[in-house]
A = this chain, B = another copy of it.
Amino acid sequence: MPVTSLPAVDPVCAMSPRSAIMRHYSRIRAHSLTLAAPLSAEDQCVQSMPDASPTKWHLAHTTWFFEAIVLGPHSHRYTPYDTRYFYLFNSYYETLGPRHPRPQRGLLTRPTLPEIHAYRQHVDAAMQHFIENCGNDMWANSGPLVMLGLHHEQQHQELLLTDILHALSCNPLWPAYQPIPGTDLLSRSRAAPEPVPELKWLETPGGIVPIGHDAESEPGFAFDNESPRHDVLLAPYRLANRLVTCGEYANFIADGGYREPRLWLSEGWAAVQAGGWQAPAYWVDSEAGGAAEQDWHVFGLHGLLPMNNADPVCQLSFYEAAAYAEWSGARLPTEFEWEAAVRRPGVEQAMGYAWQWTRSSYDPYPGFRAQKGAIGEYNGKFMVGQLVLRGSSCATPAGHARVTYRNFFPPPARWQFSGLRLAKDLGC
């Protein structure tokens, strides 16, 4: 099952000594276990909806990735830990054979968590041997795949957090992933509430702007969907310097935002009615059915806490982000407007707070072609029916995101740390 060579999209890999790569590998792999540590074996097994995966599955699948993409095709001496895992922990790679049905991942009480830990150790030992000892030609081909595997694991680190948060949100006891004091598992601590920056509209002149990752000028890893770099013509526009806050969003709710169809896209209004949406996914009104005033609490990784007005709103679907923008008399930026503005000074909260829905469908960049083989399935085959989110969130591992990063989710998705930043045409 050979995987054809990956274009050298990762100069860091090419330039770094293998010992540095190995340290990087160990650090990132260890972080996954750190994130899982506060969770019991039961917590790590549960799957609360087909879109989410169990913690244990994330731990195993990221390991499978190194086995299926690096070790299997490139290491002749590698002995699989358990060949049945090829089937159990493949996510969606048609090229790599059949796989366990996604909605049934939560039924896999076996292998047990200790067995998954042993699987990780087995693969890590083999990876260490491979990284340290494989020939240079082999490394030229497989080194970029190792880096891809690490970025892949970082993506799953964020999903691990959003998926377990969804599972915990289904529990009427509102259990916390982590009590407040130890906030070090998130990239940004919530302990010290920050003042909300004043809202400013940053004017951007438009014109022809470069979009996408440029391997020449921006050494470092990027996913294939960020390429090719290409020019886009933009009209002048204004972008908000910061994200929309919970306090602002509460005003939208109080103003009847969830009851006024004119603010919503047609699909969005249907979702509001079918799902009985009245607030972001994890907002709870402690006065519901009672007093006139709403008293919002927000469920997060630290449990159910009183809403903080200054926090960026998140756990929004694209529909809600678009309806809020409509209500506020503004609009969502395109992903091109976002990227062009963020390359300029003045934009705050670009990274590390909340993914920002854009008004751009997740289409291929001009000249994009999926790579051959399994890794070609990584991004390209999802390029329909989804919207682009830019930036990164409080749950994104440190150092994972960048200004050209294109995250994507279907428009009704609400279980991510997804918020919004407003834009306006210049004349508005």
> Which A residues are within 8 Å of any B CB, using their own CB?
40-46, 48, 56, 84, 87-88, 92, 94-95, 100, 104, 106-113, 167-168, 170-173, 175, 208, 230-235, 261-262, 264-269, 318-319, 322, 334, 359-361, 363-364, 366-367, 376-377, 381-385, 387, 411, 425
Contact = CB atoms under 8 A, between A and B. Distances in A.
A230 B425 CA distance: 13
A292 to B, nearest CB: 23
B381 A264 contact: yes
A46 B208 contact: no
Contacts of A387: 384
A411 B425 contact: no
Contacts of A264: 381
A383 B265 contact: yes
20 contacts: A41-B42, A42-B109, A43-B110, A84-B172, A84-B173, A94-B269, A104-B170, A106-B106, A110-B168, A110-B173, A208-B233, A230-B235, A235-B367, A264-B381, A265-B382, A266-B381, A267-B382, A359-B364, A361-B361, A385-B411
Contact of A107 (B171, B363, B366): B171
Contacts of A363: 359-361
B106 A46 contact: yes
Contact of A110 (B175, B230, B384): B175
A95 B262 CA distance: 7
B266 A109 contact: no
Contacts of A42: 41-42, 44-45, 56, 109-110, 112-113
B384 A318 contact: yes
A46 B45 contact: yes
Which secondary structure dominates where chain A touches chain B?
mixed
A43 B41 CA distance: 10
Contacts of A208: 233
A124 B209 CA distance: 53
A107 B48 contact: yes
A292 B376 CA distance: 34
A223 B262 CA distance: 19
A266 B43 contact: no
A364 to B, nearest CB: 7
Contacts of A262: 94-95, 376-377
Contacts of A108: 171
Contacts of A104: 170
B167 A107 contact: yes
Contacts of A111: 173
A385 to B, nearest CB: 6
Contacts of A267: 382, 384-385
Contacts of A377: 262
Contacts of A322: 384
